[in-house]
Amino acid sequence: MIRLRKPISALFALILLCATVLLAAPECRLGSPRLSAESRPEAQGPAPSVIMFIGDGMGFGHIEAARVAAAAAGRSLTVDSMPVRSRVRTLSYADYITDSAAAATAMATGHKTINSFVGVDSEMQPVTTILEAVREAGGLTALVTNGAITGATTGAFAAHVDDRQSEHEIAAALVSTRPDVMFGGGYANFAPSLSENEESAIERAMQAGYRVVRTVEGLVSASTLPLLGLFAEADFRFAADRDPVAEPSLAQMTARAIELLTGEAAMGRNFFLLVENDLIDAASHEHDVERMVSEVLELDDAVSVGLEFARSHRNTLVLVVADHDTGAVELLADGQVRFGSDDHTAQLVPLFAEGPGQERFSVDSIDNTEIARIMAEVIGVKVGDPVVAP
């Protein structure tokens, strides 16, 4: 059941809150944490790498509200420094209004699909994702989220099921697909269940060679691949409520993923990294302006980490996009933020691009399926082919 908040307060109160949070929490500020010098090899491999950021539910209104709050705190949004901007059409196969599963599947495979389907086309045929294609071509891959790693968005890049709620099945599929790095919540979907007779996903992961970490300390100290970090039973807490000792920030996880994907064990291979902020959507469903804006800023901090790397490794494409709009957020002339909906909408959503192939996104609007195809062409792989069962 979606829980609605009381009427939205004036934006100046929001600005004061965000400014206080930004000034009081150094680990969440723009540009932190920084990548260590040791993780910066002199050159990437011949094939480009891709870092893709998805703000779940993040529409243009969300970004505008965060832009105003950031300016009041004396900073600008990192995404505003990116040279290419566009708009994305998000409708799913059978509906003008998509869910995260169908939208992520479109961006991962180039196929429209039915809402709730994950990594399969409209006929329930499993189709190759960009993550799988990069891995098959010898590259490294990673999934990072502050939601459950078994959620619809991250699941659509590495699993093939017809129901996004089948998160135990998605957990097993993630282990089988074997991304080199997985950071997020969702430990409950990997853990042994009394109702299951077969091995749990966490047991399968360890048998497959994954080191499993559950603390921020473990995140920092782990240095081998593959690595599975599960820092919450389900989703993380909102950034405004997060205990930084118990749960890492999205920027911390992004920086660590890049370090691992480009360290000595990577041997110069290219990579595909997906980073999602799942909690923008959650706050928008609840009409919680303060936490919604805080989560957009949390994503923007992670983008700063990705761009820092990419701007010293010119063979890396960085994309920032939303899967859909949630809430129809509007910034009013009197300084208030208004929600026009408590659910997903059919509004076009923002896209920002920088790096090799950025010109392909320099159009007025683009369908979400084209994102998968362009990424695949840039990185030199093919997506969307039927998955052949082993």
Instruction: Record the tokens describing residue 92, joined without a space.
Output: 């799913």
Mean pLDDT, rounded, of the chain: 90
Beta strand ranges found along the chain (DSSP E): 49-55, 84-89, 140-148, 181-185, 211-213, 227-230, 271-277, 316-322, 325-326, 329-331, 337-339, 344-345, 349-354, 365-367
Distances (CA, A) of 241 to 245, 246, 271, 294: 12, 11, 32, 10
Whether residue 6 is predicted with pLDDT greater than 70 in this model: the reply is no
- pLDDT tens for 291-313 read 999 999 999 999 999 999 999 99
Per-residue confidence (pLDDT) for residue 307, from 0 to 100: 98
pLDDT, position 195: 64
Architecture of domain 50-379: 3-Layer(aba) Sandwich (3.40)
Q: Which of 100, 166, 284, 304 is catalytic?
A: 100
pLDDT (tens digit per residue) in 318-359: 999 999 999 999 999 888 999 999 999 999 999 999 999 999
pLDDT at residue 33 greater than cutoff 60: no
pLDDT tens-digit profile of 125-181? 999 999 999 999 999 999 999 999 999 999 999 999 999 999 999 999 999 999 999
Distance (Å, whole) CA 6 – CA 202: 41
Active site residue 100: yes
pLDDT (tens digit per residue) in 190-222: 998 766 668 999 999 999 999 999 999 999 999
Where are the domains positioned within the chain? 50-379
In this model, does residue 265 exceed pLDDT 90? no
Query: Which helix (H) or strand (E) is 67 found in, with range?
Result: helix 60-72
Examine the pLDDT at 286 and tell me if it is beyond 70. Answer: yes
| Whether the Cβ atoms of residue 371 and residue 107 lie closer than 8 Å to each other | yes
